[in-house]
């Protein structure tokens, strides 16, 4: 359907206007100006912030510079989560631009993975795709692809090439018609207040009787507290790519159209703003 293809594009080209500011205790030779950038929702912080690094390095001495890391209101930002997920989870109901603080010292070893090079990002991204395919197709589709096909997925993401990426990714979105959907839906549910980083479990998109399960069904099983109870007012927003899909949406459709490039559905549960 033409509309559905548009959804794929809208998801891919989603952007978050961001203001990067240098942490005040970093040692600089002169004052650092903030740096503004439109961040792709579907990409990763360390992949798209070379310009940020270059900008701040202009006012710093090399010896005062270690691995760059980002923080929002005191919370170190996990570069290995998609940017859109970080924003939705931590800052979605705040005024734009998103204000992110940049650090070059005191890397928080207990909180963040190191990211010494783009090949680490690539490895992480590809391992997400492989895990998603293990869930969807027992890994058969990804394993049947050649190394150059895997590379095409990565290069498509890295270079922001929608067509290049989806030429390969469409294969990962296929399923036998008689099955009605994937084997299991690759998803992760995030809650800002939870100790647990995310909820990820096995979930079939179709019931044994052939009925498609919905987003509401998924939440009821995985995170029932996210759903409004009876007559209670709604306490949480269920956000994917910055929007709240209807709970009646079939998860199979969500998985095919609102997944991130890593083929996972990343769902953020955030408290309804109280204003």
Partner 1 sequence: MSDDTDLPGSSCYLDERTFRLSCGLFLEHSHSLNDGWAWKEVNGSEAEGYMKKTVMVSCQVSGMPYQSSQSKPVEASDALMEDEQGFPNCGMEEAGGEQTAVAEGQPVVRYEYHVLYSCSYQIPVLYFRASTLEGRSLSLDEVWNNVHPNYQQRLRQGPWDTITQQEHPLLGQPFSCCTRVGRRSS
**Interface residues with partner 1 (CB under 8 A)?**
78, 80, 109-114, 123, 127, 131, 134-135, 138, 143, 145-147, 149-150, 186, 195-198, 200-202
Angle between helices 147-158 and 162-172 (to 10 degrees): 130
Closest contact distance (angstroms) between CB of 134 and partner 1 is 5
Closest distance of CB 78 from partner 1, Å: 7
Closer by beta carbon to partner 1, 87 or else 203: 203
Shortest Å distance, C-beta 8 to partner 1: 24
- Give 195 or 275: the residue with its C-beta nearer to partner 1: 195
Q: Residue 183 in contact with residue 202, Cβ under 8 Å?
A: no
The alpha carbon of 87 is separated from its chain's Cα centroid by a whole number of angstroms, namely: 9
Q: Which is nearer to partner 1, 55 or 188 (CB)?
A: 188
Separation of alpha carbons 161 and 153, rounded Å: 9
Strand order in the sheet with 265-271: 187-191, 265-271, 236-239
Least separation in angstroms between residue 213's CB and partner 1 is 14
Q: Cβ of residue 265: shortest distance to partner 1, in angstroms?
A: 14
* Closer CB to partner 1, 8 or 135, in the complex: 135
Of 257, 267, 273, the residue nearest 182 (C-alpha): 257
- Beta carbon nearer to partner 1, 15 or 171: 171
Could you give the C-alpha distances from 186 to 76, 86, 158, in angstroms and in order? 26, 18, 22
């Amino acid at each position: 359907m033409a509309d559905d293809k548009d959804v794929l594009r809208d998801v891919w080209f989603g952007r978050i206007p961001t203001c990067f500011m240098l942490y005040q205790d970093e040692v600089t030779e002169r004052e650092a100006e903030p740096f503004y950038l439109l961040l792709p929702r579907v990409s990763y912080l360390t992949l798209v912030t070379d310009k940020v690094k270059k900008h701040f390095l202009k006012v710093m001495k090399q010896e005062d510079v270690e691995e760059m890391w980002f923080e929002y209101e005191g919370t170190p930002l996990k570069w290995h989560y998609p940017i859109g997920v970080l924003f939705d989870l931590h800052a979605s109901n705040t005024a734009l631009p998103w204000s992110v603080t940049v650090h070059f010292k005191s890397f928080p070893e207990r909180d963040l993975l190191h990211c010494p090079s783009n090949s680490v990002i690539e490895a992480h991204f590809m391992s997400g795709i492989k895990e998603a395919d293990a869930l969807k197709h027992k890994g058969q589709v990804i394993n049947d692809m050649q190394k150059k096909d895997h590379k095409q997925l990565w290069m498509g993401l890295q270079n922001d090439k929608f067509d290049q990426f989806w030429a390969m990714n469409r294969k990962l979105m296929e399923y036998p018609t008689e099955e009605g959907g994937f084997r299991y839906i690759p998803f992760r549910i995030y809650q800002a207040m939870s100790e647990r980083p995310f909820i990820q479990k096995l979930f079939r998109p179709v019931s044994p009787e052939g009925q498609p399960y919905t987003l509401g069904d998924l939440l009821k099983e995985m995170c029932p507290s996210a759903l409004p109870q009876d007559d209670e007012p709604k306490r949480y927003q269920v956000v994917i790519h910055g929007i709240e899909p209807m709970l009646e949406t079939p998860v199979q459709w969500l998985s095919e159209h609102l997944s991130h490039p890593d083929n996972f559905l990343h769902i953020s549960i955030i408290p309804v703003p109280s204003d």
